Structure 1
């Protein structure tokens, strides 16, 4: 695979010329992201695997998913420290290999007398899966300069959704016919993408990207505490993820409630495919159209789209309305994904780049970890409508706060 010459020509010919001219390593990370997200069957349908195949109720599943998210945050924090000191490629390869191994073990445990160990193995793999995100983000920032960084992150986000556009359909099929195949498929695809990294991604030491002699008074922690803007950004991002995580917890449960277990899984897969196709078709246009608006203004607009989409979820009962609502909030997802990482890396010192990216994922992970538990507890006594109205109100508050922060920075 000659990513240096093939990818730019491919993007230009398919109308995605916005992404031409990037570093060849960005295109490789893009290809790896497509493969990984296509094969992320386990995470996509985790709540249904736990409740439909492993016998957990919604509260137990919510608590377990919260545990996996806490484990994910531990992995992100550890990776942030390690990858700021070692070659990031080595850290990423090791973590992907560990996740692949865990899923392979799960494939052999399913249907055996040790099936009850599957959740434990998933939990063991969670820190390694979580570690891949901040390392990859730091590498995207490393392989791009200031003027290309927005396009680079937009491309990686596009890669995520190219994989997700097809992945949910395959995941739903495997969920209905072979859970062993679901775990085994995820394992093999992760292994393939890891081998691609080993063969094609250059091994670059951290000191190439930052001045090893640079001294930041007080170190990383003091650098964070002095940056009030970034601390507010992390708080807002945690609240955003609290709402966003309901798309993978409450929404599949809502579909199972409305349409039955297997049909609900298939229709939820269709919903996520619409989400991914919307991203695939509109991300280049939205990135180009909003590039001059400012990241915080774009994030505020993103929250408005979420308010409309989640508000619709609160009251709709039929699949076509769910599809329209998903399209609307997906526009907000695009704006968040193509602006949040750029804003973060503009404020993060290069010396601590992976750690600040890890903090961003940890902040989001805190919101995500609370989301299933909060959602599960609410659904014990309240309706799905109540839950979605609450999420819409949180997004409305965030829309106002992003605008307020933007005005503060403009003074």
Structure 2
């Protein structure tokens, strides 16, 4: 991976660094939010879940308009604007005296992170030929996971000193990247297409709904994200019901480390082999590994079984993520690349719903029933992916949004 990065242009390296730095900033505070919301605002566990889940959903929905802006604005100006929002969101969260203000800060952070992520992925289409994009997506995902692996440890150390320090550190990382991109960012980089007729946001949204492959893949991503989006949350819920709190902590900490190490060590080498020609086969393999991993979780009675099951589950994650990106990249017209990636971001809604649905099953059904439900979501997501791979483009000219 390092050898490949050396040959990338400075613009692409800087964009990839955004994935690492901003993910690290987000990861420093996200695991700490439960403790902070409980101690600072006195929220119950149910209310905390509602706050964290709803801010993620709202940020994802608002990012649809962010994708629209990616197709309309200078990449440099857009990243600087939303990096500023990202930084101010964390700064505001550190001093927010009321829950409603803290809530708005979280929404701002999630929105800004999503829009910058869309802008980075859209820029790959301008900077790289098609055959090299899968490798870039894999590098980006590896860097993102490094951020998520390191961030919680930094956050825990900072929180032990002062409760507001994790938010201030995140704001500092955001400000540092803002300054870096302001000085060295490529002001000439354009993901927006010149000479395209102007179109309203709703008109472009209607146009996207006519691309049934995009609709199928968006639904497939949303359904499958219920399974892999926040697996640590629903596995923690399952373990709390079936074991002791001490055992839950021991298993969760071990499998989170397993997930991070597997992704960091294998994502690049495996992800770069995913080619547009065989995307359906890759997706089928990835989803099958999810099913095997879920079956392993349901049968696990020892820590070793949990670790092996997580390793298999993570292999599915390693395959599905870049395959999803490649499919969207293949079907997205150049002038709508931002909106297509924004639609893909709606999978975050599925990630937010996962713990809610699993909590309901655990409260009303035998604990193992949770894994049956999750397998159903994998199969349903796979069916949507399969339909998306079969259906051709709808009739109509996707190259001109004004025609929609």
Task: Give the TM-score taking structure 2 as reference length.
Answer: 0.83
SS of residue matched to 1:212: coil
Question: Are 1:243 and 2:227 matched, yes or no?
Answer: yes
Aligned runs of 1:308-319 on 2, under 5 Å? 308-316=292-300, 318-319=302-303
Cα–Cα, structure 1 residues 105 and 365, in superposed 2: closer, same or farther, change >3 Å?
same
CA distance in 1, matches of 2:39, 2:302: 22
Give the counterpart of 1:108 among 83, 95, 108: 95
Q: Which residue of 2 aligns with 1:149?
A: 133
Gapped runs of 5+ residues in structure 2?
A: 393-404
Two-structure CA RMSD over aligned residues (Å): 3.2
Cα–Cα, structure 1 residues 292 and 106, in superposed 2: closer, same or farther, change >3 Å?
closer
Question: Is the contact made by 1:75 and 1:130 (CA closer than 8 Å) also made in structure 2?
Answer: no
Deviation at 1:214, TM superposition (A): 7.0
CA distance in 2, matches of 1:318, 1:298: 30
Aligned runs of 1:36-75 on 2, under 5 Å? 36-40=22-26, 41-47=28-34, 49-50=36-37, 54-75=41-62
Deviation at 1:250, TM superposition (A): 2.0
Gapped runs of 5+ residues in structure 1?
A: 1-9
Deviation at 1:62, TM superposition (A): 2.9
Question: Is the contact made by 2:71 and 2:192 (CA closer than 8 Å) also made in structure 1?
Answer: no
Question: Is the contact made by 1:305 and 1:329 (CA closer than 8 Å) also made in structure 2?
Answer: yes
CA distance in 1, matches of 2:164, 2:320: 35
Deviation at 1:408, TM superposition (A): 6.2
Question: Are 1:325 and 2:316 matched, yes or no?
Answer: no
Aligned runs of 1:154-303 on 2, under 5 Å? 154-174=138-158, 178-204=162-188, 206=190, 210-213=193-196, 220-221=204-205, 223-254=207-238, 258=243, 260=245, 268-291=252-275, 294-303=278-287
SS of residue matched to 1:162: helix
Cα deviations by residue, 1:62-111 (Å, 9 ceiling, x for unpaired): 322332123212431121122211112222222222222222232234xx
Deviation at 1:120, TM superposition (A): 4.7
CA distance in 1, matches of 2:126, 2:152: 31
Cα–Cα, structure 1 residues 117 and 84, in superposed 2: closer, same or farther, change >3 Å?
closer
Cα–Cα, structure 1 residues 408 and 50, in superposed 2: closer, same or farther, change >3 Å?
same
Task: Give the TM-score taking structure 1 as reference length.
Answer: 0.82
Cα deviations by residue, 1:254-303 (Å, 9 ceiling, x for unpaired): 56665648x96686455333322211211232124443761122112111
Equivalenced residues, count: 388
Give the counterpart of 1:375 among 355, 358, 368: 358
Cα deviations by residue, 1:212-240 (Å, 9 ceiling, x for unpaired): 24799x96345423322222111111111
Q: Which residue of 2 aligns with 1:3?
A: none
CA distance in 2, matches of 1:53, 1:385: 35
Question: Is the contact made by 1:165 and 1:275 (CA closer than 8 Å) also made in structure 2?
Answer: no
